[in-house]
Amino acid sequence: MSATSNPHGVRPALAILSRERRYGPGRLYERKLDGERCVARCDGNRAILLSRSSRDVTDSFPEVADAVAAQPADDLLLDGEVVAVEGHRTSFARLQGRMQSHRPEPARESSVRIFYYVFDLLRHDGEDVTAVPLRDRKQLLRSAVRFADPIRYVPHRNQAHEDYFSRICHRGWEGLIVKRADDGYPSGRTSSWLKFKCEAGQELIIVGGTDPTGSRAGLGALLLGYNAGDDLVYAGKVGTGFSEQVLRDLADRLADLEVPTSPCTSGRLPSRGAHWARAELVAEVAFTEWTRADQLRHPRYLGLRRDKPARDVVREGQEMYR
């Protein structure tokens, strides 16, 4: 299977960010995980892992592929999230060490332990089950898959409320994924799946960087943007959340992508000290809120995302208006 193939034509369901949290019957509530989305295909004794953009990431997570290949079903298609854990939290920043491994041998030797949290079943023993209601697919998933590390099941709740959401946020969760219990498996971005985030954050396009100051090496801050129709909107900069090695690596990547002028077509650009880059890299950024000037307040860099192309990055909460 090629790096850009898509097993059975399935486009992974993608949740829409909801800033208005509503709770009610007929929904399932799952923990939001901060990792790399993966569809796992097992055909006989071979397994392949694909990111949400259909990139083959099997060599980055070979122990997960081994565990999927060892499942009793001969023809299996799973949906889940590969995560690394730091304390009681899933850590996308920690997972970066594995996402940058492109050969199975170094990946197996990595000190970063990973898990594949499975939350849905799309195909079982040659049968497409995407039309089966979610609640029934969950039951089938529990019986069809042998759950042992590194494969784990994502449990769900039938009810939730704001007090519960506050408690899970205090425990360090990313938030909740809310799904309609009686729906089949949707394709692509869908209002059947919502995400309630404990911390504001999203993917943003890296459009450049600034010079380092003081003792910092390689890079001062990343310059960020997002798509809005035909415009690439400047969203501000992020200067925290980097290790020295990450700063050097990003500086090298941006040097290869450097262009003489900003790729942004709107937004208030910095007046000096900026080096611009082709809009190809995507970063995950946490922040407290959007300012009135539509820029990030108190942003913090979390890591690079390779599972989402820059052309698909929009300001979250506005997906339905693309």
Q: How far apart are CA 131 and CA 128, in angstroms?
A: 8
Q: Cα 290 vs. chain centroid, distance in angstroms?
A: 20
> Is 32 among the catalytic positions?
yes
The two three-digit tokens of residue 212, written as one number: 């380092």
The pLDDT score that the predictor gives to residue 139 is 97
Give the DSSP H/E element, type plus range, for residue 41: strand 36-43
Q: Which of 81, 84, 59 is nearest to 3 (CA)?
A: 59
Q: Does 201-321 match 7-197 at the fold level? A: no
Is residue 49 a contact partner of residue 40, using CB atoms and an 8 Å limit?
A: yes
Q: Is the pTM of this model over 0.85?
A: no
Tell me the torsion sign for CA atoms 239, 169, 30, 89: positive
Q: Which CATH architecture has domain 7-197?
A: 2-Layer Sandwich (3.30)
Closest CA to 48 of 35, 34, 29, 62: 62
Catalytically annotated residue among 32, 138, 179, 237: 32
**CATH class given for the domain over 201-321:** mainly beta
pLDDT in tens, the chain (322 residues): 333 345 456 789 999 988 789 999 999 999 999 999 999 999 878 999 999 988 999 999 999 999 999 999 889 999 999 999 988 888 888 898 898 888 999 999 999 999 999 999 999 988 999 999 999 999 999 999 999 999 999 999 999 999 999 999 888 888 999 999 999 999 899 999 999 988 778 899 999 999 998 888 889 999 999 999 999 999 999 999 998 889 999 999 999 999 999 999 999 999 888 999 999 999 999 887 788 888 898 899 999 998 889 999 999 865 433 3
Q: What are the structural domain ranges in the chain? A: 7-197, 201-321
